[in-house]
Amino acid sequence: MIFRVETVAAIWAATATAFVTTAPASAGSWAWGCIGKLGNERVIFDRNTMIVTASKLPRVTLRDLANNGPRLQTQDGTTFENLGNNDGFAKTMRFGKNGEPEQKLTLIEAASRKTFHRKGHVGRREEYTTKFLKTCRYAPDKQAERKITMQCIEYVLTTCGGPCS
């Protein structure tokens, strides 16, 4: 019985030591996305997903897109997967319709201007928030192109190159 108690105590002590001596994570964060109106439709996208819906749902703000929030989803409308989700704001972005990957939609940037930029620090990490107003050609496959103006945001929180504490 004493052997078991000593063994359990030794295991517990080793585990506690491992938790106490583990360095904090210092991963960076990069999030971006846009919101715009196209006639009676609302278009929202982030680095993973685009939603085209006729309603005001889901209720998403630019700040939500910058916070790497929950994956965009809706019961109404159409959902597309961003085919270049790690490319950032490229001049041409392609999206494939969920469930029908042969249906594609292309956004081609026609104009972009920076409307806000802030650089700050979170501890030793650098934080950048940039907002844009972008005008794009919205081109679903086999349909006429339309023009859309979108409010966009890009958020970057750098790593600190080691333990952040």
Number of Cβ within a 10 Å radius of residue 153: 23
* For residues 98-104, average pLDDT: 86
pTM assigned to the model:
0.77
Q: Which residue did the predictor score with more confidence, 46 or 9?
A: 46
Number of Cβ within a 10 Å radius of residue 19: 7
**CB-hemisphere CA count at 13 Å for 139?**
12
Q: Which residue did the predictor score with more confidence, 63 or 118?
A: 118
Note the pLDDT of residue 5: 47
Domain spans in the chain, listed from the N-terminal domain onward: 29-157
10-19 residue pLDDT tens? 444 444 444 3
**Partner residues linked to 157 by β-bridges:** 29, 127
Note the pLDDT of residue 22: 40
Note the pLDDT of residue 162: 65
* For residues 85-103, average pLDDT: 87
Buried b (16+ CB within 10 A) or exposed e, 23-34: eeebeeeebbbb
38-92 residue pLDDT tens? 988 899 998 888 999 887 777 788 888 888 655 677 677 888 998 987 788 899 9
